[in-house]
Amino acid sequence: MSDITTEPDPPVEGQTIVITVPHAGPWFIARDGSGEVTEVTANDRGEIELPAPPGRGGDTFTVTDYRDPATDGNFSIQSQT
Amino acid sequence: MPYRVLTCALLLLPLAAQGSVLVPRDALGRDGRGLGPLAGATSPRRQQFLIGEGLLVALRGHGILRISFRRDGQPSSLASGKTIITVKLDQQTVQDPWRPSTTFQENLGPSAATVFQGEIVLPTSPRPAHRDSVGFGSSEAISIDLPQPYLYLGGTLCIDVEGEPVQGFATRAWPIDIDRDGARGVITTEGRSCVVTPERVTRSITADPVALRPGATARFVGFGAGGELAGLLLASQKLPSPIDLGFLGAPGCELGVVPILEMWSTATAHRRGPLAAANAYLSVPHAAQFVSARLHAQWLFVQGGAIRTTQTMTLDLAPVLASIDGAIVTSLPQRGASSGEIQVSAVPVVRIDWQ
């Protein structure tokens, strides 16, 4: 995990999550082990706001810019209960 | 005896005079528009901050004692860490801060001086009360004290930082505040791709609109398969009707541009994600003819004689030249980098203490 934070930390199932990444532009969020990837855009402040995390409690995600070497990080979603 | 005391006092007066310069001048009470990593804070990198002399008028003729990088105002607490860094300072080598080289060495002249080498502590920084409330307190900034003052006489100041985290003391994130002017380009994609991507990745070519402007390093990403040869085709015009590549054994794949420039690389599979990506970088000159310029791009992937193409992307560069007197050149997260990507019209939010 490098240069990537989430608010709240950890993200909570069903709640808005703000991921802060170190640069604006296209980023990709992959749900580990699923093959699902979503392209998202970070604003000038490096923020990616997701109305709700794209998964369930216990799911782990990788956030990457797909550079080589990539800047990437991961987060896990906490169950609401 | 009184004369000797007076003489000593007069000699000490100029030395005792101290002050500080804030870059940009109006940074207090507002969070910069951007953020970024500081080389070595979280990963091995090299980075150069080029600050135009217009932002450093009060520093001219004085010796730099300390450089403090303010943290970004994001609403997160930041954990402490340690880094080993080397800081070099140079002045007047880069004539125009909007036109640095992507090659670090070319931005340093023969008079570049190593002014710091050693360990720096990244402080524990609590979540700011408000985004705009961050200052330069001991928990809000990374400060580098120079053992000897560095005399600044004028011209573009280049702050060259190279470093990596101390093993066992790396922190996850410690973003510094960056001020930018907010100009950006626009990307639009059209046509079809014969590269299969996951459902929520609607295009197999993308670019960073923030970097689509004169003076910056534009970055293009294309998605293919790991190990594929990947060519970015850049064009000033797209074809009125795309050409189906069935005659090359790739029916359903289309060529949409007449390339004037090709940049070849290899698609690399991500260590965890399901996609493989190719990257290409293009330095756009900081010149008036590139203001609002339009380009078209498309990726072509080749492996074992098979060809696949992405959609066509139209790139409209930002409608302005740089307005902030500075630029930042940042390497990818790797040791020993010799070059980096340019962000133009951007400066770190720093306080430079002088005597």
| More reliable by pLDDT, B290 or A53 | B290
Q: Peptide bond before B242: cis, by omega within 30 degrees of 0?
A: no
The model's pLDDT over B71-103, given as tens digits with 9 standing for 90+, comes to 999 999 999 999 999 999 999 999 999 999 999
Q: If you average pLDDT over residues B231-256, what whole number do you get?
A: 97
Mean model confidence pLDDT for chain B: 94
* Nearest partner of B165 among B81, B97, B102, judged by Cα: B81
pLDDT confidence of residue B199: 82
Q: Is the pLDDT of residue B139 over 90?
A: yes
pLDDT confidence of residue A1: 54
Q: Does residue A49 belong to the interface with chain B, where contact is any CB pair within 8 Å?
A: no
Measured between beta carbons, the chain A residues lying within 8 angstroms of B199 are 36
User: B331: nearest CA in chain A?
Assistant: A69
**Which class for B60: exposed (0-12), middle (13-18), buried (19 or more C-beta within 10 A)?**
middle
The model's pLDDT over B247-294, given as tens digits with 9 standing for 90+, comes to 999 999 999 999 999 999 999 998 777 889 999 999 999 999 999 999
Q: If you average pLDDT over residues A41-53, what whole number do you get?
A: 91
Residue whose structure tokens are 């932002």: B55
pLDDT confidence of residue A56: 81
pTM to 2 decimals?
A: 0.94
A-to-B residue pairs, Cβ atoms closer than 8 angstroms? 127
Mutate to test the interface with A, among B46, B47, B72, B74 (most CBs of A within 10 A): B74
Q: Does residue B219 belong to the interface with chain A, where contact is any CB pair within 8 Å?
A: yes
Taking an 8 Å cut-off on Cβ atoms, the answer to whether B199 and A36 are in contact is yes
Interface of B with A in 318-347 (CB under 8 A): 332-334
Q: State the nearest Cα–Cα gap between A3 and chain B, in angstroms.
A: 4
Cβ–Cβ < 8 Å for B125, B71? yes
Cβ–Cβ < 8 Å for B76, B152? no
Cβ–Cβ < 8 Å for B22, B58? no
The model's pLDDT over B195-221, given as tens digits with 9 standing for 90+, comes to 988 888 889 999 999 999 999 999 999
Q: Is the pLDDT of residue B12 over 80?
A: no
pLDDT confidence of residue B10: 41
Q: Which of A3, A69, A73 sits opposite B334 (nearest CB)?
A: A69
pLDDT confidence of residue B273: 72
Assign B111 a pLDDT band (cuts: 50, 70, 90). Answer: confident
What φ, ψ does residue B133 adopt, rounded to 5°?
Answer: -95, 0
Mutate to test the interface with B, among A16, A23, A74 (most CBs of B within 10 A): A23
Q: Is the pLDDT of residue B2 over 50?
A: no
Measured between beta carbons, the chain A residues lying within 8 angstroms of B274 are 30, 35, 37
pLDDT confidence of residue B205: 97
Taking an 8 Å cut-off on Cβ atoms, the answer to whether A3 and B34 are in contact is no
pLDDT confidence of residue B6: 40
- Cα torsion through B342, B347, B353, B355, rounded to 10: 70
Measured between beta carbons, the chain A residues lying within 8 angstroms of B268 are 68
pLDDT confidence of residue B15: 52
What's the order of all strands across the beta sheet hosting A5-7? A5-7, A17-20, A47-50
